[in-house]
Structure 1
Amino acid sequence: MGEALTFVSSHFIALWTETLLYGSYTALYAICMHVLLDRRRHRFAENTPMITMASGLFLLGTAHVIVNFARGIQAFTVVENTPREVYSAFGTPISVAKQSIYTSTVILSDSLLIFRCYTVWGQNWKVILVPVVLLVLGGTTGFVTVYQFTVVEPGNEDGVYTGSLKSWATAAYGFSLAANVLVTSLIAWRIWRHTRRVRAIVEGVEKARYDRALAMVIESGAIYSLSLTIMLIMYTLNTHGQRIVYDALSQIAGIMPTLIIVRIGLGVNAHNTAEDTSHTLRFAHSTTTTTTLHSPAVQSARSGTTQTNDDATIAYDDPQASNISLHPPLKASHSTCRSLIKRSDAGSGSGDSSYA
């Protein structure tokens, strides 16, 4: 291993990096709660699962940074211990707690992404079957890895790169990466399919908005997957720098799902610009008269009702109800839109067109 970054300095830089990310995460979480609890946008009960998971991720991120601080205090302020002795004691309770918190964070973060995919695909459990298997395998190998840390000889700073510990850790990172790449691809594919349908009905700014929605999902999923890839490569190469990415991932794993929730709730596009007020990316249950490009069969022709989802939907204000002129205008009337989308759904063999 190279000596440019030492064993102790990698832990110090990792603590500093995680602290910066945690500060950003705290602000993002506050915004997320404001969005989810805003009664003007949607009902509280419908967002309880998202509130619970977002809060769980934030609590785990907080616990991880606290444990990291506690180890830093032990390493740099307790006279009878040297930093190397503290950080190379992988089997101590505080070290095991740190590994357990990270593993739990990854499981919850991946679960939230899979739940989002499940919603986007119209609650089709077959779509998420493989991701769920990868989630279970990743969680199992992750906690086996935590146990493997307890048997590393104290003082052996390279013990994490050898033996069964490295095999289990590599497997855990690999399963998590595979699950994230697969689920992000499924969500992107689903939105892309509906983008093609909508382009036949909506032009101009609406087309751009769908493109940005697709970019949002890809960007958000790619950040965590890319970080995990870097982490896996650096760990495989036995470099001390992997600890910096490892601690950062404990915050990134919570930041990315929370960011998706905030961006959808606030109607912000992939380039951080607000949408026009007459065309808003909203959570379900808009208070205005809407034509929702959403199914099961977008509008139910038999009951004359509009069905929505707990996840986000694209809603268009009714110009006849609000006297708002849409620029550019829709290419077809609302009734025609219903007919076209139903016909599209029937032709594709899909009974649901929900997406986030």
Structure 2
Amino acid sequence: MCGERNYRAILTCLWIEGLLYGSYLPLFLGSAYICAYTRPNKYLLTLAASVFVVCTIQALLDFATLLYTPEIVANTFCTGGVCLGCDGDTESRVNQIELQDILWMIVDAGGIVNQLMADGLLIYRAFVLWKPRFWVIVIPTTTLLGTVVCGLLHTYATSQTYLIRLHAPLSETTPPPKWVTLEALDLTALSIESALITTTNVLTTALIAYRIWWITVGLSRALGGRATRKYYRVLTMIVESGGIYTMSIITRLAFMYVLPDDRKIFIIVHP
């Protein structure tokens, strides 16, 4: 049945996003408790709360997109990275696509801000652990800036395709050459962005984990293994959390290329 694959794929992607958000909630609550009571730090608490609020807004907007674009969800098939209506483009479908693009642009803007805050915090932690060796954060900082640039390019491409669709007559069935160029730019920006996010997270996680391990080894020699157990637990948590997030980015990137017909669907997932 036309549209069934798209329907299942979108629901699956949003289900995965819901699971990731549900996994993030206890982590945020734990971080907030530590920053508020165990080791009070109003700046880190504010940053953690800001990241959580933006993530929540992104998740709500993604679900709002699902609820307010039923024709796109249930009556769409994708081929070659291009998604079309099973019954052609009706006025209501075009209106829903325009609404979808607007919501996606808001979500993308939130993603840029969130990535800047979250990865910026990781880089700051690496800086604190490694200072005065400032050179260790040069590459992560560069990749973070590159991530922001790619995110802006992605948002720009989405906004331009939205404007093209907004001013195009309903009878026009062939996209203009600029549309194809923007789609290529969008895919390239997303691919590079995913690679840069992965690089930033792998580098910062490795820097933080190695530094904690190195400090722990020294403390273990001086104080014994029992005194450093909590540091090993922290080390494990850092590696696991960084690894899970990195794998989610790599998985999305892989699906975008392995299943090019459903590329537009995987773009909406925000790990």
TM-score interval for Structure 1 and Structure 2 normalised by the shorter chain: 0.7 to 0.9
Measure how far apart 1:118 and its partner are.
1.4
Contact map agreement 2:157 2:182 (CA 8 A) in 1? no
Residue of structure 2 in register with 1:35 after alignment? 34
Distance 1:108 1:235 in 2: 26
Question: Does the 8 Å CA contact 1:92/1:150 hold for their aligned counterparts?
Answer: yes
1:185, distance to aligned residue in structure 2 (A): 1.0
Structure 2 Cα separation of the partners of residues 239 and 193 of structure 1: 47
Cα gap change, 1:31 to 1:197, in 2 (>3 Å): closer
User: Structure 1: how far apart are the matches of 2:214 and 2:152?
Assistant: 38
Q: Give the 3 Å change call, closer, same or farther, for CA 24–209 of structure 1 in structure 2.
A: closer
Q: C-alpha displacement at 1:61, in angstroms?
A: 0.8
CA distance in 2, matches of 1:10, 1:27: 27
Q: Which position in structure 2 is the counterpart of 1:149?
A: 158
Q: What is the CA-CA distance between 1:242 and the residue it aligns to? A: 8.1
1:274-305 deviation per Cα after TM superposition (whole angstroms, max 9, x unaligned): xxxxxxxxxxxxxxxxxxxxxxxxxxxxxxxx
Match of 1:297 in 2: none
Taking structure 1 as the reference length, what is the TM-score of the superposition? 0.58
Partner of 2:63: 69
- 5+ residue gaps, structure 2: 77-84, 86-92, 166-172, 175-179
Give the C-alpha shift of residue 112 in structure 1.
1.4
Distance change >3 Å, CA 216–CA 179, structure 1 → 2? same
Asked if the contact 1:14–1:245 (Cα under 8 Å) also holds between the matched residues in 2, the reply is: no
Separation in 1, partners of 2:3, 2:226: 50
Q: Within 2, Cα distance between the matches of 1:163 and 1:241?
A: 12
Q: Assess if the C-alpha contact under 8 Å between 1:5 and 1:241 holds in 2.
A: no
What is the aligned counterpart of 1:97 among 103, 106, 123? 106
Counterpart CA distance in 2 for 1:196 and 1:243 is 46
What is the one-letter code of the residue matched to 1:142? G
Secondary structure, in 3 states, of the residue corresponding to 2:262? coil
The structure where helix makes up a greater share of residues is 2
- 1:132 aligned residue (125, 138, 141): 141
Q: CA RMSD in A?
A: 3.4
Query: In the comparison of the two structures, how many residue pairs are matched?
Result: 239
Report whether the alignment pairs 1:205 with 2:204. Answer: no
More displaced stretch, 53-62 vs 199-208? 199-208
CA, structure 1 residues 91+13, in 2 after alignment: closer, same or farther (shift >3 Å)? Answer: closer
Match of residue 120 from structure 1: 129
- TM-score, length-scaled by structure 2: 0.74
CA contact (8 A) 1:5 1:240 kept: no
Q: In structure 2, the residue corresponding to 1:247 is in which secondary structure? A: coil
Q: Aligned pair in 2 of structure 1 residues 161, 217: CA closer, same or farther (>3 Å)? A: farther
Counterparts of 1:292-307 in structure 2 under 5 Å?
none
